[in-house]
Amino acid sequence: MQAFANSLQKGEKGCFFTKLRYLCVFRLLVKRHIFCTDIEEEQELNRELLIVFFVILSRFLRNKRDILLSLQRDYKTIMNIAKEIKRRIAEFSEDYVFTASDFEIESQNQSAVVKALNRMVKSGEISKLTKGRFYKPRKTQFGELKPSAYQIAKDYIERDGKLIGYITGYSAYNALGLTTQISSYIQIGTNKSRRSVKREKYTISFILQQNPITKKNIEILRILDAIRFIREIPATTPNEACLRLKEIVRNLNDEQREMLVKCVAKYTNYVRALCGAILEDIGCNDSILESIRKTLNGVTEYKLPISESVLPTKQNWRIYEPSRK
């Protein structure tokens, strides 16, 4: 008992089980004290009882103080994190989409980051796109604008600084002047097949691209995608789309046209045929046309609803309207 009392006096560090042991010893000492008949032994027990009692009391008070200090530290940490997040968000451009990982804060404090962001959503300082994704809204007299297609889907376009996809489809058709319609569908060209995903009201779908995706060839790939889906471009006709595509291709420089010819080789036959007819119509040289023509079998006919008045060279590439040859 003396040895145990001495260990308590030295402030032996303990956990829950050590504290429980203190209480058991205290109870045992009390029991012995009740039945004690020897005066000297009673005095020794009194001393041991006092030691155990004060150790238990001091540990309780120390733990209480530690808890308060810990809470105070946590509060300061949370307030500092919130302050840092607000500072960083103030530097973001409007409509920029971000996640908790955009803030350089220790992993053990990530939950505090998420809570701070959710509080800012409630206060109207930022908006929530979907779970874990936030953006700094662009506000106009007509209301709050949603982020751009690129911002909404940028994690499917770039990863760790590497380009893995590109915006195509409706957003690209709009940028190319092929349609004025704005859609809630976002299409991404990618080298890997993926299933469609939903983000708030937006549906992100993926179009398999056989060519490598680089910053230099993205505009060319968008043009070829428009040729590929010429029958599906909204709020326009294939004839109107063809006229606009001829204008776009005509404005390409020699390097871009060479890239167009190189990339179209990975597309299906009718895309190569239509691309060849467009290039011939705008007066492209024979060597370029021949490099495309030799990839076609010369027998297959392609049914596309494009009139001869819009594309006079189409029959040279065996392109016919669906109703007749």
- Answer for the pair 112, 77: CB distance below 8 angstroms, yes or no: yes
User: For residues 127 and 109, which has the higher predicted lDDT (pLDDT)?
Assistant: 127
| One-letter amino acid of 112 | A
Q: Distance (Å, rounded) from C-alpha 269 to C-alpha 41? A: 105
User: For residues 15 and 139, which has the higher predicted lDDT (pLDDT)?
Assistant: 139
Position 206 pLDDT exceeds 50:
yes
Rounded to two decimals, the pTM is 0.73
- Answer for the pair 56, 26: CB distance below 8 angstroms, yes or no: yes
* Parallel/antiparallel/unpaired status of strands 185-190 and 202-208: parallel
Section 128-137 average pLDDT: 90
- Using CB atoms within 10 A of its CB, is residue 134 exposed (0-12), middle (13-18) or buried (19+)? buried
pLDDT tens digits, residue range 21-41?
A: 555 555 554 445 444 445 555
- Characterise 243 by phi-psi region: left (phi > 0), alpha (psi -120 to 50), beta (else): alpha
- At residue 254, the 3 state secondary structure works out as helix
Q: Distance (Å, rounded) from C-alpha 14 to C-alpha 61? A: 14
pLDDT tens digits, residue range 135-178?
A: 988 888 778 888 999 999 999 999 988 999 999 999 999 999 99
Q: Distance (Å, rounded) from C-alpha 125 to C-alpha 139? A: 11
